[in-house]
Amino acid sequence: MESVFGRFVEKSSRRISGVLLSDTATPLAAPVIVQQFNYYSKMKKYLAMLMLCAFASMTAGAQEVKKLPQPDLTLNVTLMDALKNRKTDREFSDKAISEQQLSQILWATCGINRPEKGLLTIPTAMNAQDVKAYVCTAKGVSLYDPKANTLTSVSKTDIRPMLAEGQNAMAKAPVFILLVSDQTKLRHNGQIYGAMDAGYASQDICLICAALGLKTVPRAMMNKEKVSKELGFPETMVLELNHPIGY
């Protein structure tokens, strides 16, 4: 088998589908050549199919990642002023907020303020760092990555109406931040600690919005079932609060 195929490869004059075929191959070798040719063309088809499948699964799982501007940590507003101005607002226009403002808000929500230790602007029980911030706009939903200072797209659906449910007019706000506690990060008292940790993030959002002259309100109301389904959350991802933010 090896010798027949080896000889015909040596004598080759034509290349078909990457296999060398001899014009002068003996009649005895012909069935072997045909067999080999069929084998290689089948292999090629399988390989092409495999590559297509791999490419399809790669692109299906590919997530858009967007770099945020560096948060400006020199904001010239005193803590006392921010505390003085913090209040609930329930009416929003559809005027957009800037990426720079969004970056400041996310850094305050659960950004890293001590990079050498990877510690956050908010305290979390046992440093569980269970609070995840999802940015929800008309274009879809993205997850904030505090380390990389990026937003990773997780859905193309505008879930603002699901978040605003019960207070539908608020769906107009250009951005909602959804605070979710990842309970797998908490070893015990997850339900309580998760709510507390999200509370710190929520208070930071209230204060940074006051400092930036933006409106917000912490909201427990939302259609949790619809939101969880849309984002494919398991039960361990607990929806704690949402914040419409804008003007």
* From 46-54, 56-64, 212-220, 224-232, span contacting ligand FMN (CB under 6 A): 212-220
Distance CA 219, CA 172 (A): 15
Place of tokens 């005193």: 78
Please name the residues in contact with 79: beta carbons below 8 A apart, sequence gap of 6 or more: 207
243: contact with ligand FMN by CB under 6 A: no
Q: Which of 44, 90, 95, 187 binds ligand FMN (CB under 6 A)?
A: 90
Footprint of ligand FMN on 38-57 (CB under 6 A): none
Contact 161, 171 (CB under 8 A): yes
* From 42-50, 66-74, 145-153, 213-221, span contacting ligand FMN (CB under 6 A): 213-221
221: contact with ligand FMN by CB under 6 A: yes
What angle do helix axes 99-110 and 190-212 make, rounded to 10 degrees?
140
| DSSP class per residue in 72-98 | -TT----HHHHHHH---------PPPP
Q: Which of 44, 67, 84, 87 binds ligand FMN (CB under 6 A)?
A: 87
What are the E-state strand segments in 22-84?
65-67
Query: Which 3 state secondary structure label does DSSP give 178?
Result: strand
Q: 136 or 217, CB closer to ligand FMN?
A: 217
Q: 36 or 109, CB closer to ligand FMN?
A: 109
Contact 120, 112 (CB under 8 A): yes
* From 28-36, 111-119, 143-151, 217-225, span contacting ligand FMN (CB under 6 A): 217-225
Q: Which of 190, 218, 244, 246 binds ligand FMN (CB under 6 A)?
A: 218
Q: 20 or 195, CB closer to ligand FMN?
A: 195
Minimum separation from the CB atom of position 227 to ligand FMN (A): 14
88: contact with ligand FMN by CB under 6 A: yes
Footprint of ligand FMN on 127-186 (CB under 6 A): 167
Q: Which of 164, 207, 217, 231 binds ligand FMN (CB under 6 A)?
A: 217
152-160 CB contacts, 8 Å cutoff, 24+ apart: 152/63, 152/64, 152/65, 152/66, 153/63, 153/64, 153/65, 153/66, 154/63, 154/231, 155/230, 155/231, 157/230, 159/226, 159/227, 159/230, 159/231, 160/136, 160/244
Interface with ligand FMN (CB under 6 A), residue total 9
DSSP 235: T
Minimum separation from the CB atom of position 134 to ligand FMN (A): 17
Site residues, ligand FMN (CB under 6 A):
87-88, 90, 167, 217-221
